[in-house]
Amino acid sequence: MDDRVSAQLLNWYDKSARALPWRALPGEAAPDPYRVWLSEVMLQQTTVAAVTPYFIRFTESWPTVQDLAAAPEEDVMAAWAGLGYYSRARNLVKCAREVAEMGGFPEEEAALLKLPGLGAYTAAAVAAIAFGKRAVVVDANVERVVARFFAIDEPLPAGRKAIRAATDRITPDRRAGDFAQAMMDLGATICTARDPKCLLCPLSADCAGRAQGDPARLPVKAPKKARPERRGRAFWIERDGRVWLIRRPGKGMLGGMRALPDDGWSARADGHGHPPFAGTWENCGAIRHVFTHFGLTLELHRDLANGPLPEDEGEWWPVAQLEEAGLPTAFARAATLVLAR
C-alpha cells in the first residue's frame, strides 16, 4: 500500500499543484535552494498568503543568498517587520553569511542541519525539494494528513514520533520533493483542519481516519495552557515632525528591531516600568497583541511638555515615513493610536 499512496498522491499533484513564487511545478527544473530555504523559513508558523508578498520583496531586494549575506542586518530586520518570530530573521542573516562563505548550500540533510536556524523540518525540506534527496518532511499539514490517513490518535506532541515513522513509510525514493509538496498541498487545500473535503481526496479510499467516521478529530492535541498576560507602556516623543525611535538589543524579545521606547515590559510582567524621562505624558489608549507565549496590553503615552531628550541611543525618524522604519507589529499598531489623533 505504501507505494500506492505515493503514486496516487503524485498523480494528483501533477494535476493540482499550487503555483507559488518559490516553487518549481512538476516537470520543471529544481528550484534555487536559496528560494526554497527562504520560503521555508518564512512559512514557519505563518500562512502562504501572509508570506507571499514578503518573499517577493525579499527576492527583489536580495535575489541571491550572496546578496542577502551582504545586506546590513538592520535592513533585513526592517524588511521582515510584520512577519513575527523575529529570531528567524536574525538567523536568516547568519545562515546566509555562512552559506555564502561555503560557496552555496550543502545538498545533504545532515550538513543542512548544521546551518544556523535550520531545524529538522527545514533541513529535510531543502534537501528534498531543492536537491531531490529522499528526506522525511513533516510540517503541520503533513502531520494532519498522516495522522488521519493512519488514524494515529496518540495526542500531540507525543504522537509526532509515530506520525514521522508513518510518513517515512510512504515517502518514495524518487520525487521526494514533489511528494513533500503534494502532502503540504493536500493538507492546505483538502485535508484541512476543519471540514476536510474527503470526497475530493486522492487518498480517501485507504484513509483509516475516514473509515472510522470522524477524520476531523485527528490529530489529537493536548489541551492548551492558558496564555499569561502582560501589561506595558510605549512612549511617543515627537519633535518637528520626527519621532524618537530606539534600536532594541540584539538578543531577546524583538531583538535588533527599531521600536518606540518602552518601559521594559519584555523583561517584566507587571507593567510598572518608568518612562524615558520625567514629564507630562498623555495616555493615548492601548492595543492588545498576542505573542507566542503571552498576550500583551500595550498603552501608548505621548510627551506633552517637550521634556529633555532621551539619553538612550536612538534616531529621529520622519513621522510621514514611519511605515519605512520596519516597526514590529505591536509598536506599529501602538503608533497608529497617535497618528489617528
Residues designated as active site:
40
The CA-atom distances, in angstroms, between 107 and each of 32, 133, 148, 196, 253 are: 12, 8, 32, 35, 33
Any idea which residue has 512538476 for its cell? 26
- Concatenate the DSSP letters of all residues of 9-30 into one string: HHHHHHHH----TT-PPTTSPP
Count each helix (H run) and each strand (E run) in the chain, helices first: 13, 7
Q: What is the pairing mode between strands 295-303 and 229-236?
A: parallel
CA 27, 32, 37, 39 dihedral sign is negative
**SS3 for 149-212, per residue?**
HCCCCCCECCCHHHHHHHHHHHCCCCCHHHHHHHHHHHHHHCCCCCCCCHHHCCCHHHCHHHHC
Q: What angle do CA 19, 20, 26 make, to 5 degrees?
A: 50
CB 295 within 8 A of CB 288: yes
